[in-house]
Amino acid sequence: MSDQAIKNPRIKQGWLRVVLFGGCFSLITLLITIPAVIAVAGVQTADLQSDLIHTLSGLLTGNYLWLMLVLELVISLITVGLFRVLVDRKSLMSLGLELGEYWPEALTGLLMGPALLGISSLLMLFSGHLEWTDITWDGTQLFISLGLMVLIAFSEELVFRGYILGNLLDSFSNKYIALAISAILFAAFHATNPGIHTLAFVNLFLAGLLLGVNYIYTRNLWFSFLLHLSWNFFQGPLLGFKVSGLSLPSVLQAETKGDLFITGGDFGLEGSILVTAISLTAFLILSWAFRRKYRS
């Protein structure tokens, strides 16, 4: 028997559960992150606000990136766990964590990341906006980078697709409205990343649509998790681009040049108009395909 058949949520409206979840997520983030940053980086309390903003930016681009990502995972698990069990009165697995019959979608997500980024990179390369200048192989560092990408993908998919989109689907009869709202929130979550600009924000919104297009039909996280993971890992540690403005050690050393509209500027490839076109095209194709498959 399903969780829904056993217990109804303590709060009926899904959108209200999302609003309360967002507030709780922000509060827990402050309670956990601020003491951690002060302890690790030695922030002075005389000008706490400006010092924290400066230090957080430095941690995201420095040696403590792993700490920030572990904290993000812990905060996501705590907040989602509390709300899923105590407010929604459902199990964590009901967020879509079981692979089950959805392995074809999971495999599609895994392969789509390299495919979409490969197309974007080749377009930049042949148009003269990209050059790979060197190859650096460090198996240990590559494995660490893979671990970091797993942390990012799992924590963000758990929050934005598993909890937020899942609950919004309970409130909106039109699933694409729920998807659009979750995509806006996903883009806003990255709005303070280094190098962010308007086109990068639009691409983050499109990424939210692309990551969630399978979930609105299946309520399963494996497509979005593996697409998110393969996209970030292929983009940063392998191809040498910045990942949403964050620099990572990479196998290929990429050097971009020319029009920032094409290269994405300081935000990296995700700020490029090429990614806009490719992400929108992929979303429309997947939306059509999943709508046909799950028409019933």
What's the rounded Cα separation, in Å, for the pair 134 and 199? 29
Task: Identify the weakest region by mean pLDDT among 44-58, 65-79, 96-110, 237-251.
Answer: 44-58
Q: Helix count (H) and strand count (E) of the chain?
A: 13, 2
- pTM beyond 0.85, yes or no: yes
Query: Model confidence over 96-151: pLDDT tens digits?
Result: 999 999 999 999 999 999 999 999 999 999 999 999 999 999 999 999 999 999 99
Instruction: Give residue 33's pLDDT.
Output: 74
* Rounded mean pLDDT, 36-42: 62
Query: Model confidence over 239-253: pLDDT tens digits?
Result: 999 999 888 899 999
What's the rounded Cα separation, in Å, for the pair 147 and 151? 6
Distances from the Cα of 118 to the Cα of 200, 270, 274, angstroms: 19, 13, 11
Q: Write the CB contacts of 59 (distance below 8 Å, at least 6 apart in sequence).
A: 37, 40, 41, 65, 67, 68
Domain borders along the chain are 3-293
3-state secondary structure 235-278: HHHHCCCCECCECCCCCEEEEECCCHHHHCHHHCHHHCHHHHHH
Query: Model confidence over 88-102: pLDDT tens digits?
Result: 999 999 999 999 999
Tell me the average pLDDT of the chain.
89
For residue 160, which of 103, 86, 101, 79 has the smallest C-alpha distance? 79
